[in-house]
Amino acid sequence: MKYRDIIGFSNKKGKFVKKAITPTPKPTAPPVTELLKNEFGPLNEWSEKPTGPKRWFKPMDEEGLTEFEKEEMNEGPAYEYAGVFSKFEKAYMQLQKATDELGRFVTKKTGEKVDQKIIEKQWKKQVTPFYKLMKSWIRGKM
């Protein structure tokens, strides 16, 4: 007995029917690009039409900016807040690393994790809320 008989497959082979492939009909409406070419002319990036005023039509300063670009670049106080806050964040991260190092050092010397847990708990209780307050405050300023 063959495994096909056990599983329940029949020995009959199905008929294979070949279907003729019909060619796709040509679209009756022209494509969008053809319509655009008819309406606006050839679509070429390097056309002979003038592209408008160049960036360097006005005198530039030492930084390579025109007067208009200088006026656009006025970021205001949000830019200044971001700079000072980034210094605050860097100092916060350094203090956090130093505090973690202190906790690990105390644990290593005494062999007990009690002091390290006290330090970590006070950090989370006092310093972290202050950092979150500053973060939300600076978000309101930007």
| Low-confidence winner among 38-52, 89-103, 108-122 (lowest mean pLDDT) | 38-52
CA-angle at 110, arms to 107 and 113, nearest 5°? 40
pLDDT digits 0-9 by tens, 71-96: 666 567 777 888 889 999 999 999 99
Using pLDDT thresholds of 50, 70 and 90, give the confidence band for residue 101. very high
The single residue listed with the structure tokens 């939300």 is 136
The single residue listed with the structure tokens 């039409």 is 49
pTM: 0.47
The mean pLDDT of 47-53, rounded to a whole number, is 56
